[in-house]
Amino acid sequence: MQTEKISLQPNQDYIKLDNALKMAGIFPTGGQAKLEIQSGNVTVNGEVCTQRGKKLHIGDKAEYNGTVVEVC
């Protein structure tokens, strides 16, 4: 399993799930991220999440296809 860490900007409290997956390089476009999230192929903190706008905070982990994205 591979882990990608992404950092929030100093003025950010959260990042949306689709943006986090795109920022980590898992998906090249937001449209691809949206389709995979809505298809139930992404988990957040171990639970399937179909909300592309789900807010991820520091410590949250999203997983897709063996890659974990951790928000720092």
Q: What's the pTM? A: 0.93
The confidence band for 1, taking pLDDT boundaries of 50, 70 and 90, is: confident
Q: What is the C-alpha to C-alpha distance for residues 60 and 65, in angstroms, rounded to an integer?
A: 17
pLDDT for 3-51, tens place per residue?
999 999 999 999 999 999 999 999 999 899 999 999 999 999 999 999 9
In eight-state DSSP terms, residue 9 is -
**Domains observed in the chain:** 2-71 (3.10.290.10)
Q: What is the C-alpha to C-alpha distance for residues 33 and 30, in angstroms, rounded to an integer?
A: 5
Residue pair 37/49 in contact (Cβ under 8 Å)? The answer is yes
Q: What is the C-alpha to C-alpha distance for residues 24 and 63, in angstroms, rounded to an integer?
A: 11
Q: How far is CA 64 from CA 11, 13, 27, 55, 72, in A?
A: 27, 23, 10, 16, 18
